[in-house]
Chains A and B, each alone.
Chain A
Amino acid sequence: MALPQTKLDATDARLSALSLPAGPAWLVEARETALARVQAMGLPSRRDEYWKYTRPDTLVQADPVPAALFDGGEAPVFDGIDALQIVFVDGVFDADASDDLTGEGLEITRLADAPDIHWAKDLYGQLETNGQKPVERPLAALNSAFATDGVLIRVTAPVSRPVNLSYVHRNETSDAILHHVVKLEEGAALTLLENGPAAARFNKVMEVEVADNASFNHVRAQGRDHERRAATHIFTRLGTESAFKSFTLTANGVMTRNECVIELTGDDAIAHVAGACMGDGKDFHHDDTVFITHDALRCESRQVFKKVLRNGATGVFQGKILVKEGAQKTDGYQISQSMLLDDDSQFLAKPELEIYADDVACSHGSTTGAIDETALFYLKSRGVPTDQATDLLVLAFLAEAVEEIEAEELRDEITARLQGWLERRRA
């Protein structure tokens, strides 16, 4: 089917502002195929059903909207966590600020330095390609074609020290495209942290292959620069008895679209994805889009998304569980909730279940509501001022999502950040 002319024009405008980076033959090939995919799909436009609630314009246009740097006067999230640091400044790897890319059970290569022969050649752009069906994700294909940097991480054993990807934003007009590939071999385990705004506009793809009995933990805190924009994708494929757990904290940022595409292909695998979001202001827009495919026996998936929106902020949740024929004993759970602190804020939710197996347990729920006035009065009657009482209830509301983080140290770090931000907001 031919693409509409406006879409063709918009796609051409964006593509002409970019050039395919050089690299080893396998990567050049992967980029060229990705480019062909983008050209065939066209970049998202407002008419697309999948972008009904989120305007893709600023994510698609040739040049990024400049974003002022934000200094919250605080240490980066996860600074207190002992981790292997990998730093990108406006989308470019910073060797001086990063640790040596070595560690027991870890093999880390910078994408820009990828050699002629490398394990990532079987994965780069592959999981992304798999994730293009049944719904197209053109911004991810664009990323595979034009990503200039990123890391390729192979994990061969359980690794206890997390890897922390820090994304520093220094240039007000930066447009960063990063692509990471993570491969967890059988029985391996890794905790991957991500933090920071990255750039004025950030397009990031992370492909994660989790082999049998391997486990991947992901905790991310997206940067607080008010004007930053981001479109991120996680594509993951899970082997037998493997586990994937991902949590994202978002506060500030005018535009965020986080897509998470999970394929449970091995029996007894587990996938949990969660997000806590605090949005403030009428230009705040945050979109969580999740697509989980059950294609094996007895797998468990869980989606827990909570948003607190105020002063006209908008939150979006599109979450789908697809249970394929034969994926018996699937256990799927999805909850998306928002707390609206005023009449101007809005939450748009599209929860979906599509089930082709007859012996499954799937549930989903979505709620939106105001703060609990009874609880608020109870707190006030004990002497807690209105704004502090509101914050307590906001934290309590988000806690269900934060509790999805398994490691106590990380959970506490996220909670402490939330508390700190709320307190400073009051001051």
Chain B
Amino acid sequence: MLEIKNLQVKLEEEDKQIIKGLDLTVETGKVHAIMGPNGSGKSTLSYVLSGKDGYEVTGGEALLDGEDILDMEPEERAAAGLFLAFQYPVEIPGVGNMTFLRTAVNAQRKARGEEEMSSTEFLKVVRERAKTLKIDADMLKRPVNVGFSGGEKKRNEILQMAMLEPKMCILDETDSGLDVDAMKLVAEGVNALRAEGRSFLVITHYQRLLDHIKPDVVHILANGRIVKTGGPELALEVEKNGYADILAEVA
């Protein structure tokens, strides 16, 4: 599904290398987790993959189903099936959540040459999917993320994911700022979307999200590289001993 080969990224503004030759393959239908200490390049990786400005790819490639996405516009990557759940979802005053969702769904359909969703059909689907995420009618009507609590924002991200039905989902510290109940709700939303043809890359600091979203593979990212890869037990090891032991071991 997603193949990252020897990826190298630096900040555009300053001459600072963040990702230093990263290799990662996420197979179709699998859940991979990336853990790593602060400043290891986790968020940079998610932004580079989704096409945010301000980063310069100095080497390597990132293939989504064999196609290099790094030269694509963010909206083309989205239409190709990539989705990033933001660590800090953006507030957009004046744009209704529902308008936003429908515009996004139909823009992607159009880009893929599919028929647009009628408003009745859209309404039906969005209500149904919102309900399972405990997103009420009021949240759908309000401007995108404006006045939403931390938990509401993250649930709104998952609702977007549910509506857009991407094949490759990247979750950037989706657990940050969430209490246990909110985290469970978000995790349930994600688990409901797990499917044979859909892969996940879950980026997190802590193991606790992985209690709820069970990964198939866990990677440790440090200093811009994947330094260790293992099964779910690797996350438990981090939880128990911190990163220091692992980093010392691979150094």
Tally B residues with Cβ within 8 Å of A.
Answer: 30
A383 and B108 within 8 A (CB): yes
Output the nearest chain B residue to A374 by Cβ-Cβ distance: B90
Least distance between A422 CB and chain B CB atoms (Å): 12
- When distances are taken between beta carbons in the complex, the residues of chain B under 8 Å from A389 are 75
B53 and A378 within 8 A (CB): no
A388 and B107 within 8 A (CB): yes
User: Could you say which of A375, A388, A399 contacts B103, with CB atoms under 8 Å apart?
Assistant: A388
A382 and B78 within 8 A (CB): yes
Complex: A349 Cα to B85 Cα, angstroms: 40
Task: Say yes or no for B111: interface residue by CB 8 A criterion.
Answer: yes
User: Given that A373-B53, A378-B86 are known contacts, is A384 also in contact with B95, CB under 8 Å in the complex?
Assistant: no
A383 and B50 within 8 A (CB): no
Least distance between B48 CB and chain A CB atoms (Å): 12
Least distance between B226 CB and chain A CB atoms (Å): 24
Convert A344-375 into 0s and 1s, putting 1 for each residue whose CB lies closer than 8 angstroms to a CB of B: 00000000000000000000000000001111
User: Could you say which of A383, A386, A392, A400 contacts B95, with CB atoms under 8 Å apart?
Assistant: A392
User: Could you say which of A382, A396, A400 contacts B160, with CB atoms under 8 Å apart?
Assistant: A382
- When distances are taken between beta carbons in the complex, the residues of chain A under 8 Å from B84 are 381
A381 and B78 within 8 A (CB): yes
Within 8 A of B (CB), among A378-408: 378-386, 388-389, 392-393, 395-397, 399-400
B90 and A397 within 8 A (CB): no
B75 and A380 within 8 A (CB): yes
A385 and B100 within 8 A (CB): no
Complex: A396 Cα to B99 Cα, angstroms: 11
- When distances are taken between beta carbons in the complex, the residues of chain B under 8 Å from A377 are 51-53, 74, 90
B77, B86, B99, B100 pick with most chain A CB within 10 angstroms: B100
Complex: A396 Cα to B93 Cα, angstroms: 7
B95 and A382 within 8 A (CB): no
Least distance between B179 CB and chain A CB atoms (Å): 24
Least distance between A408 CB and chain B CB atoms (Å): 15
- When distances are taken between beta carbons in the complex, the residues of chain A under 8 Å from B113 are none
A384 and B92 within 8 A (CB): no
A383 and B164 within 8 A (CB): yes
User: Could you say which of A375, A380, A382, A397 contacts B73, with CB atoms under 8 Å apart?
Assistant: A380
A392 and B50 within 8 A (CB): no
User: Could you say which of A380, A383, A393, A400 contacts B92, with CB atoms under 8 Å apart?
Assistant: A393
Complex: A382 Cα to B92 Cα, angstroms: 13
- When distances are taken between beta carbons in the complex, the residues of chain A under 8 Å from B160 are 382
B95 and A385 within 8 A (CB): no
Complex: A393 Cα to B74 Cα, angstroms: 17
- When distances are taken between beta carbons in the complex, the residues of chain B under 8 Å from A400 are 94
Task: Say yes or no for B104: interface residue by CB 8 A criterion.
Answer: yes
- When distances are taken between beta carbons in the complex, the residues of chain B under 8 Å from A380 are 51, 73-75, 78
Task: Say yes or no for B79: interface residue by CB 8 A criterion.
Answer: yes
- When distances are taken between beta carbons in the complex, the residues of chain A under 8 Å from B164 are 382-383
User: Could you say which of A375, A392, A399 contacts B90, with CB atoms under 8 Å apart?
Assistant: A375
Least distance between B136 CB and chain A CB atoms (Å): 21
- When distances are taken between beta carbons in the complex, the residues of chain A under 8 Å from B89 are 378
Complex: A388 Cα to B78 Cα, angstroms: 15
Complex: A392 Cα to B92 Cα, angstroms: 10
- When distances are taken between beta carbons in the complex, the residues of chain A under 8 Å from B111 are 383, 385
- When distances are taken between beta carbons in the complex, the residues of chain A under 8 Å from B100 are 379, 382, 392
A393 and B78 within 8 A (CB): no
Within 8 A of A (CB), among B66-92: 73-75, 77-79, 84, 86, 89-92
Complex: A178 Cα to B174 Cα, angstroms: 61
Complex: A383 Cα to B94 Cα, angstroms: 19
A381 and B94 within 8 A (CB): no
User: Could you say which of B51, B75, B95, B107 contacts A393, with CB atoms under 8 Å apart?
Assistant: B95
- When distances are taken between beta carbons in the complex, the residues of chain B under 8 Å from A375 are 90-92
Least distance between A376 CB and chain B CB atoms (Å): 9
Complex: A384 Cα to B164 Cα, angstroms: 12
Output the nearest chain A residue to B50 by Cβ-Cβ distance: A381
B104 and A383 within 8 A (CB): yes
A384 and B103 within 8 A (CB): yes
User: Given that A380-B74, A383-B75 are known contacts, is A396 also in contact with B92, CB under 8 Å in the complex?
Assistant: yes
Complex: A374 Cα to B47 Cα, angstroms: 12
Complex: A39 Cα to B44 Cα, angstroms: 69
A373, A378, A382, A392 pick with most chain B CB within 10 angstroms: A382
Complex: A378 Cα to B156 Cα, angstroms: 13
Complex: A396 Cα to B105 Cα, angstroms: 19
Least distance between A394 CB and chain B CB atoms (Å): 10
B73 and A379 within 8 A (CB): no
User: Given that A377-B53, A378-B86, A392-B103 are known contacts, is A385 also in contact with B94, CB under 8 Å in the complex?
Assistant: no
Known: A373-B53, A377-B53, A381-B51. 11 other contacts (CB 8 A): A378-B90, A382-B100, A382-B164, A385-B73, A385-B75, A386-B73, A388-B103, A388-B107, A389-B75, A392-B100, A392-B103
Query: Can you report 14 A-B residue pairs in the complex whose CB atoms are below 8 A from each other?
Result: A377-B90, A378-B92, A380-B74, A380-B78, A381-B51, A381-B74, A383-B75, A383-B79, A384-B75, A384-B104, A385-B75, A389-B75, A396-B94, A396-B143
- Minimum-distance CB pairs A-B, first 3: A396-B94, A383-B78, A383-B108
